[in-house]
Copies of this chain bind each other. A is one copy, B any other.
Amino acid sequence: MSQMLQIHDQLREMILSLDLGPGERLTERWLESRFEGSRTPIRAALVRLEGEELVRRDGRNWIVAPIDLGELEALAEFRIPLETTAVRLACARASAADIAAIEETLDACQSGAPREEWHRVGTDFHVEIARLSGNPFIVKAIAGAMTRLSRARWLEVWTEPSREQAWREHRRILGFIKANDPDAAAREAADHITDTRDRLLRSLNEDRRGLRARGFAVIGLR
């Protein structure tokens, strides 16, 4: 693979895993030594990441895109019509095998699994469901939304019950798709998005102090 793509992927991973702090400045020279490549591929990777809004310009400088917790509401508002549409289409179009494959990945994530695993599966679920819709625009839009959500979800304090709750909701959505009940699936999907948003916001609100202590500027959180 080209060096630029390697750098892009690594940098992306570092950003999404909060290895690089939101708002942190990135100098091309630092990245140059960090990745042992010249500025050319680094620059390309940065431009690419800028398109994904994971990196942003601040004047002439590059910075890791800050997390704006205020956009969590807008994000849910955006996801609801898309995901309800996605599950409706999935009812009409998904094959039993596709559904079974998603069921398997859900089952593979047991209570004991590491947090990274839960995080990834919880995100991928929505993208995979979107894929069942067969509509590439919906898939890309949801994938983008989940990416934007991803870092905020790392900030959340995950309790066992809330984790189980989300898992059950995923399971229910999938069940309604399997049962070919588009209305119920859509209702369940919308509720799930709302619930998840509320859980996330509640957790962040309760943990404001903890967030600040960990050095996160809690911006946009009402």
Q: Which residues of A are interface residues toward B (Cβ below 8 A)?
A: 40, 43-44, 47-48, 50-52, 71, 74-75, 77-78, 80-82, 84-85, 89, 134-138, 141, 145
- 7 smallest beta-carbon distances between A and B, as pairs: A51-B51, A78-B137, A81-B81, A81-B85, A47-B47, A74-B135, A44-B47
Per the bound structure, the CA–CA distance linking A84 and B85 in Å amounts to 12
**Do A77 and B89 have beta carbons less than 8 Å apart?**
yes
Instruction: Return chain B residues, CB-CB under 8 Å to A43.
Output: 40, 44
Interface of A is mostly: helix
Instruction: Return chain B residues, CB-CB under 8 Å to A74.
Output: 134-137
Instruction: Return chain B residues, CB-CB under 8 Å to A89.
Output: 77
**Do A135 and B78 have beta carbons less than 8 Å apart?**
yes
| Copies of the polypeptide in the assembly | 2
Per the bound structure, the CA–CA distance linking A50 and B51 in Å amounts to 9
Per the bound structure, the CA–CA distance linking A135 and B70 in Å amounts to 12
What is the CB-to-nearest-CB distance from A221 to chain B, in angstroms, rounded to a whole number?
A: 17
Per the bound structure, the CA–CA distance linking A75 and B136 in Å amounts to 9
Additional pairs, 16, CB under 8 Å, beyond known A74-B134, A77-B89: A44-B44, A44-B47, A47-B47, A47-B51, A48-B50, A48-B51, A51-B52, A71-B136, A74-B136, A74-B137, A75-B137, A77-B85, A77-B135, A78-B135, A78-B141, A137-B145
Known contacts A51-B51, A136-B71, A141-B141; is A81 also within 8 Å of B78 by CB? no
Please give me the residue from chain B that is nearest to A88 by CB atom: B81
What is the CB-to-nearest-CB distance from A186 to chain B, in angstroms, rounded to a whole number?
A: 10
Instruction: Return chain B residues, CB-CB under 8 Å to A52.
Output: 51
What is the CB-to-nearest-CB distance from A85 to chain B, in angstroms, rounded to a whole number?
A: 4
Per the bound structure, the CA–CA distance linking A21 and B40 in Å amounts to 29
Per the bound structure, the CA–CA distance linking A169 and B181 in Å amounts to 33
What is the CB-to-nearest-CB distance from A73 to chain B, in angstroms, rounded to a whole number?
A: 9
Which of A43, A47, A51, A75 has most B Cβ within 10 Å?
A47
Instruction: Return chain B residues, CB-CB under 8 Å to A80.
Output: 85
Instruction: Return chain B residues, CB-CB under 8 Å to A50.
Output: 48
